[in-house]
Chains A and B, each alone.
Chain A
């Protein structure tokens, strides 16, 4: 019989406690190598859409905020288009990167993203998904980066019909993916473990 000639994906390893050196060197006082840290700015004056601030934390099994985690987010623009060559439905807003990277504040563990509220993008069968931001979380103690999503607390109708949220068997866990809105600020706590454990995805 012939072989399928497939390779195995390179196994993951933890990002470790010094992930900043590689991904945000200016943040950890390694100056002069890169002009700026990548992914610190998603929007500019011309970006279309409603400006919002996302404040997140990642908490361990004791409820303590991780102060050495790093988060990347990925989201659609205000019209629901991704700024990616794999986006076939149209051209995304050229003034919106869609991607950001943020290290936890070394004292408080907080992540802050200045962004816009994304538009809706279709699920595989064409049904609209609720507006959401994809999160990827790495840190010391996390062996393989964790994927989750943040949905918006003021999008109750869209959230109720979201095909991904509907897939969650235990409805009591749905609120773990929904950020609370206050003014223009959304607050999103990601619990790695325990009673309030956030839903993570195998995508």
Chain B
């Protein structure tokens, strides 16, 4: 039950998070992405400097991980078989806005198979399932915030938004920091994919610069010859203030 990581060699982080730049993130209401129209709050958000409820958050130990949790080529495959598609390694660092690596945090990812089909009963796309591909993986960052996993490159797929909208190839990421206020879900795209600039979900992000932060470059140096190509994807979480000069809570 107690899934805390022992961080006794590090000072705990107890400062407030830097405010989110909501002009950098996608706004809630983005009508070109149709589902957002009825699912976007219309009233202003209530801004709060973080209390302990937002500064704290769950942490997870390596004991939750199975041996193949970061290997989507094998973690759903029958013994001796493997998923079909372009074999790739995705790696990077989880950092915060101060540039510090964020160690010991859980990173989860999910994706479609090489043909663009998800293993989900709500996905009715006619491209077939791969019997050896599930599509989920997870890992915990190392001391410098590094993570890595192995998978197959997901295919693009059509979706019912406009009559001919296709999602670019992408991998979904969910990242924990050290506080509940850092919780983030995003999508990684692949260098050079022409669909990126036509996608109504990508274009919910207001600036080209911010969109480019989601595009993973091909890394030939990390590529394993005769085995797997590599893409690098760094993830930046909210930074936090130093607590040195923060008001102390009364009674502490």
A132 to B251 Cα, complex, angstroms? 21
Cβ contact within 8 Å between B186 and A136: no
Cβ contact within 8 Å between A9 and B238: yes
Q: Mark A32-76, 1 if CB is under 8 A from B, else 0.
A: 111100100100100000000000000011100010100010101
Cβ contact within 8 Å between A146 and B48: no
Which residue from chain A places its CB closest to the CB of B120 in the assembled complex?
Answer: A18
Q: Is the interface of B mostly helix, strand, loop or mixed?
A: loop
Cβ contact within 8 Å between B24 and A8: yes
Expressed in whole angstroms, the minimum distance between the Cβ of B23 and any Cβ of chain A is 11
Q: Which residues of chain A come closer than 8 Å to B108, judged between CB atoms? A: 22-23
B157-193 interface (Cβ within 8 A of A): 172, 174, 178-181, 183-187
Interface centre among B1, B64, B123, B201 (most CB of A within 10 A): B1
Q: Which residues of chain B come closer than 8 Å to A16, judged between CB atoms? A: 172, 187
Cβ contact within 8 Å between A61 and B58: no
Is B75's beta carbon under 8 Å from chain A? yes
Is B27's beta carbon under 8 Å from chain A? yes
Partner of A192 from B41, B46, B55, B235 at Cβ < 8 Å: B41
Q: Mark A107-129, 1 if CB is under 8 A from B, else 0.
A: 00000000000000111111001
Partner of A142 from B13, B39, B99, B239 at Cβ < 8 Å: B39
Expressed in whole angstroms, the minimum distance between the Cβ of A104 and any Cβ of chain B is 12
Cβ contact within 8 Å between A15 and B4: no
B92-147 interface (Cβ within 8 A of A): 95-99, 108-111, 118-123, 134-136, 138
Cβ contact within 8 Å between A143 and B27: yes
Expressed in whole angstroms, the minimum distance between the Cβ of B44 and any Cβ of chain A is 9
Q: Which residues of chain A come closer than 8 Å to B211, judged between CB atoms? A: 11
Is B242's beta carbon under 8 Å from chain A? no
Count of chain B residues with Cβ under 8 Å from any Cβ of A?
101
Is A157's beta carbon under 8 Å from chain B? no
Is A96's beta carbon under 8 Å from chain B? yes
Which residue from chain A places its CB closest to the CB of B53 in the assembled complex?
Answer: A134
Cβ contact within 8 Å between A86 and B183: no
On whether A33 and B3 interact (CB within 8 A), knowing A11-B25, A15-B174, A89-B252, the answer reads: no
Is B149's beta carbon under 8 Å from chain A? no
Q: Which residues of chain B come closer than 8 Å to A123, judged between CB atoms? A: 51
Q: Mark B1-17, 1 if CB is under 8 A from A, else 0.
A: 11111010000111001
Is A197's beta carbon under 8 Å from chain B? yes
Cβ contact within 8 Å between A125 and B250: yes
Expressed in whole angstroms, the minimum distance between the Cβ of B19 and any Cβ of chain A is 7
Expressed in whole angstroms, the minimum distance between the Cβ of B138 and any Cβ of chain A is 8
Partner of A132 from B21, B22, B53, B56 at Cβ < 8 Å: B53
Is A140's beta carbon under 8 Å from chain B? yes
Is B52's beta carbon under 8 Å from chain A? yes
Expressed in whole angstroms, the minimum distance between the Cβ of B193 and any Cβ of chain A is 15
Cβ contact within 8 Å between B12 and A203: no
Cβ contact within 8 Å between B178 and A32: no
Q: Which residues of chain A come closer than 8 Å to B64, judged between CB atoms? A: 38
Partner of A136 from B52, B68, B180 at Cβ < 8 Å: B180
Partner of B210 from A11, A72, A98 at Cβ < 8 Å: A11
Expressed in whole angstroms, the minimum distance between the Cβ of A174 and any Cβ of chain B is 11
Cβ contact within 8 Å between A164 and B51: yes
Is B30's beta carbon under 8 Å from chain A? yes
Q: Which residues of chain B come closer than 8 Å to A168, judged between CB atoms? A: 46
17 contacting pairs across A/B (C-beta < 8 A): A6-B97, A7-B97, A8-B97, A8-B213, A9-B97, A10-B235, A11-B24, A11-B26, A11-B186, A11-B210, A13-B205, A33-B136, A86-B52, A126-B251, A200-B41, A202-B22, A202-B48
User: Knowing that A11-B214, A21-B119, A173-B43 are A-B contacts, what are 13 other residue pairs whose CB atoms are under 8 Å apart, sorted by A's residue number?
Assistant: A8-B213, A18-B118, A22-B110, A22-B174, A30-B119, A82-B56, A85-B7, A121-B53, A122-B51, A141-B37, A167-B46, A193-B38, A193-B41
